[in-house]
Amino acid sequence: NPLQGAQFTLAAHRINQLPADQGAEVAFAGRSNAGKSSALNTLTNHKGLARTSKTPGRTQQMVSFALPPLGDGTEARLIDLPGYGYAKVPEELREHWKREIDLYLHRRQSLRGVVLIADIRHPLKEFDRMMLDFCAATHLPCHLLLTKADKLSRSQATQAWAAVRKTLGEGQAAQMFSSSAGTGVDEARAAVMALLHT
Ligand code: GTP
Ligand code: MG
């Protein structure tokens, strides 16, 4: 597993608290409770790495995880972004994260691509669409994980995936995924590595 050995570096409340903007970075984005932190743990094969929770709004920081350097010595990181759109998070905090995520996407030079996580049962809500549109407009590659695939039958999951796939643009791909069942893990790891090498 090329993502093995990830280590927590820091949790930032603002983008200027993130590690120095150098090397290659991939961000995990998605709606609150979609399964971002779980996906990070599954992909890095490290159970307690990112904190997960049944309660939406768990991750309220931008959390940075260092990976072993790439083959050419380039520094590599994964960033767990706060979930978007959970109503019970105070308005002020939601506004704060909206601003910071926007700044992060616009300014972060080391950002190579986005892993967008969406629950396969409710894919492509407004936030997901915005993120895909933003990525398309700025030529930032995006890999969509349709997670919690274990919650649907195989044929339902395949159907949902096929419907989503049709709506994607250039530089965008989608796959079925499940952190619990281990569906699509190898494919997702390869996709993250490909983004880091972009
Ligand atoms: P925030 O940090 O609140 O934005 O959420 P998150 O996107 O990081 O979600 P998290 O990984 O904490 O998971 C939310 C809930 O979904 C938890 O109860 C997880 O156990 C559950 N979950 C995550 N991935 C899967 C999956 O693939 N299958 C199933 N059945 N449950 C999952
Ligand atoms: Mg989280």
pLDDT (tens digit, 9 = 90+) per residue, 106-151? 999 999 999 999 999 998 999 899 999 999 999 999 999 999 999 9
Q: Which fold has domain 7-196?
A: Rossmann fold (3.40.50)
**pLDDT surpasses 90 at 59:** no
- Annotate 148-167 with three-state secondary structure: CHHHCCHHHHHHHHHHHHHC
54 C-alpha to ligand 1 centroid (Å): 7
pLDDT recorded at residue 160: 97
Residue nearest to atom 10 of ligand 1 (CA): 35
How much is the average pLDDT of 179-193?
97
CB contact at 8 A, 26 and 196: yes
* Band (11; pLDDT cuts 50, 70, 90): very high
Give the 3-state secondary structure of residue 183: coil
Q: 8, 78 in Cβ contact below 8 A? A: no
Q: Which atom of ligand 1 is nearest to the CA of 84?
A: 4
Overall average pLDDT of the 23-44 stretch: 95
Provide residues with CB under 6 Å of ligand 1: 30, 32-38, 52-54, 56-59, 83, 147-148, 150-151, 178-180
Checking if the pLDDT of 9 tops 70, the result is yes
pLDDT at 87: 66
Residue 55 confidence class, pLDDT cut points 50, 70, 90: confident
- Kind of pairing between the strands at 24-30 and 172-176: unpaired
Element (H, E) at 15: none
Q: For the range 179-184, what are the long-range contacts, defined as Cβ-Cβ under 8 Å and sequence gap of 24 or more?
A: 179/35, 179/38, 179/39, 179/41, 179/42, 179/147, 179/148, 180/38, 180/148, 180/150, 181/149, 181/150, 182/42, 183/149, 183/150, 184/145, 184/149
Give a three-class secondary structure readout of 18-80.
Answer: CCCCCCEEEEEEEECCCCHHHHHHHHHCCCCCCCCCCCCCCCCCEEEEEECCCCCCCCEEEEE
| Distance (Å, whole) CA 159 – CA 123 | 12
pLDDT on residue 178: 98
Cα-Cα end-to-end distance for the chain: 19
CA of 134 to the centre of ligand 2 (A): 21
Distances (CA, A) of 59 to 34, 65, 90: 11, 14, 14
- Give, using CA atoms, the residue closest to atom 28 of ligand 1: 148
Per domain, the residue ranges of the chain are 7-196
- Please say whether the beta carbons of 19 and 105 come within 8 A: no
Please compute the mean of the pLDDT values over residues 74-83 and round it to a whole number.
94
Report the predicted TM-score, pTM, of the whole model to 2 decimal places.
Answer: 0.95
Confidence grade of residue 90 (pLDDT, cut at 50, 70, 90): confident
Average pLDDT over all residues of the chain? 93
| Mean pLDDT, residues 42-56 taken together | 87
Say how many Å lie between the CA of residue 141 and the centre of ligand 2: 22
pLDDT at 52 over 90: no
Nearest ligand 1 atom to the CA of 34 is 7
Q: Nearest ligand to the C-alpha of residue 38? A: 1
